Amino acid sequence: MTLEDIVSGQVLLVDKPYEWTSYQAVAKIKYALQKVTGKKKLKVGHAGTLDPLATGLLIICVGKKTKAISDFMGLPKEYVAHIKLGATTPSYDLESAIDAEFPTNHINHEMIEEALNVFTGTISQVPPIFSAIKKDGVRAYEKARAGAEIVMAPRQVVIHELEILSYKDQLLELRVLCSKGTYIRSLAFDIGNALNSGAHLVGLRRIKIGPYEASNGKGPNEWAQYFFDEVAST
């Protein structure tokens, strides 16, 4: 990759670390590219956010490739999700504390398989109140953190595939292939309800976006170092 390549447009596969926001990943790469190219107005953006507590593939577009962001956002996403049965949280993940506990002794592998069948295909899903969706011009999570009462409208999403990878000690590991706009946190919550229990997401990794794989990506710091070590010298 040369300076000319970057200026003309590039698609970067970024493996977002735990507790990084998508914005922080973009900012890290943008700063490095600005330093290397000397262009302060270089366009850099991501094609689909990841929650801070999630890891995995983030597609970052540079220069003219930012025009293709909407195309990348429309691609199916594949995740590995870790779901803890028997408890819920207001955010549907580890961002908030457990607010209710439920029995799990009645749950077995067959029950889980049957429940997952309900969520395969086109489904109606209610996004979490702790989300970036705007309500009256304000991010829902900002209202939620302020203690406001929020009603989220259901949306149609598509779950192409659901596969149980493991289930032990109330911890369910799933592979999920889904459409854009799908909230895996909401899926975890809904699966808990379907099992006459509760559930919340305790781990999430995005492994693919369309044909692009997280295993072929670099972390934000790795990309920044690559630009300084390899690109700046070309």
Is there a contact between 172 and 107 (Cβ–Cβ < 8 Å)? no
Catalytic (active site) residue 71: no
Exactly one of 15, 51, 93, 190 is catalytic; which is it?
51
Beta strand extents in 91-154 (DSSP E only):
100-101, 121-125, 134-135, 138-139
Strand-pair partners of 61: 11, 45
- Encoding tokens for residue 171? 């911890």
* CA distance linking residue 71 with residue 201, whole number of Å: 28
* Listed residue (199, 204, 203) closest to 170, CA to CA: 199
Q: Quick one: tokens of 217?
A: 């990506």
Torsion of CA 29, 30, 33, 34, to 10 degrees: -150
**Helices assigned H by DSSP within the chain:** 3-8, 22-37, 69-73, 109-118, 140-145, 184-194, 220-226
Are 90 and 96 in contact by the 8 Å Cβ rule? The answer is yes
User: Contact, 175 vs 80, CB < 8 A?
Assistant: yes
Indicate which residues carry an active-site annotation.
Answer: 51
